[in-house]
Amino acid sequence: MMKIEHAFNITYTQQLDEHGNLHESLPEFIKNDLGILSHCYKIMALTRIFDQKAVALQRTGQLGTYASSLGQEAIGAAIGSIMDDSDVFVPYYRDYSAMFMRGVSMVEILQYWGGDERGNCFQTPKKDLSLCIPIATQCCHAVGIATGMKIKHQKHMVIVSCGDGATSKGDFLESINVAGVWQLPVVFVVSNNQWAISVPRHLQTAAATIAQKAISAGIHGEQVDGNDIVALLDRIKTARDRAIKGKGPSLIEAVTYRLSDHTTADDASRYRSNEELKTAWSKEPLKRLREFLFAKKFWSEDQEIALQEECKLQVKQAVEDYMNIANQPIEYCFDFLYDNLPNAFLSQRDELLAKFKRMQGQKK
């Protein structure tokens, strides 16, 4: 005899289509605070202008390798809008819009990508983790933090983000598993931008959706249009409420597209077509939200012009501040590896300092 023991389904939510048309009425919490949409739009616009400038800085040798967030601004803006100050955000390397909303400065982001780790020591918020470059390891950190919150009976939660490629790593799978077993207050937001560097989504995993990986961990999983700020706000808020109330973790797959190269060290034209990219641009999040705001008369041409100018000025000032930061002391590459530097490294540190002083003397 054979019977169906369990049946599962994955929902997909879109409320604002690619032309800025709303499928149904706005969620109540947005109706009661329409300013959340214009605030999200401002952060998304700032992030895109910042992004363009950061790429330009890298191309002119004033910044190291940089990971663009082009096309994924709505996901971060939604995360930043929904989180409470007492929550903890564990980002990956394309989460600038969320980080800006959480209080991280553009200068700190530039400083980090400029090769100065001091940029990862955010002035605010102190509890959030820094940018994570290793793939999926931040998921382990997130469940560790969430475990501490549960043990302490705190009414806080954790949101951790990652890309679609990270969901094939053991760190991710182990993290969602323990989150399910221990019913931790954590939300996994997966930015499915269709490319794990040069590997397309269909070759990276055979699963029909990434959201269904939640099923194996016994947690809630769903898909959402990652270019739709309204749907993102709604579903992330619902997931956060579930976590805060002790109803367990969630996995949200935000379906979007990486409009940029993987990083400035990549050339995406070698592995994807112009037609695919053109189609993706027609669905991008800023244009979609802007058209909705214009149609509802929540935004005007004058406001748009003023916003663009304001964002450019903010980015310009951030770049100037970044360029004026004094270089970190050369010995820092030793001083922050260990609490107490092992004796084996002491002579190497002294040798490095002596060599650096000789080089500085030759320059004079």
Q: Hey, which residues are catalytic here?
A: 258, 262, 271
Q: Where are the alpha helices (DSSP H) in 259-300?
A: 274-281, 285-295
Distance, CA of 97 to chain centre: 7
Q: Where are the beta strands (DSSP E) in 16-131?
A: 88-90
Q: Which residue in the block uniquely carries the two structure tokens 């050339």?
A: 267
- Bridge partners, residue 189, by sequence: 161, 252
Distance CA 310, CA 300 (A): 15
Instruction: Report CA Rg, the chain.
Output: 22
Would you say 93 and 72 are in contact if contact means Cβ atoms under 8 Å apart?
no
The burial class, CB within 10 Å (0-12 / 13-18 / 19+), for 349 is middle
CA angle 260, 262, 266 (to 5 degrees): 100
First to last CA, the chain: 87
Question: What would the DSSP string read from start to end of 293-306?
Answer: HHHTTSS-HHHHHH
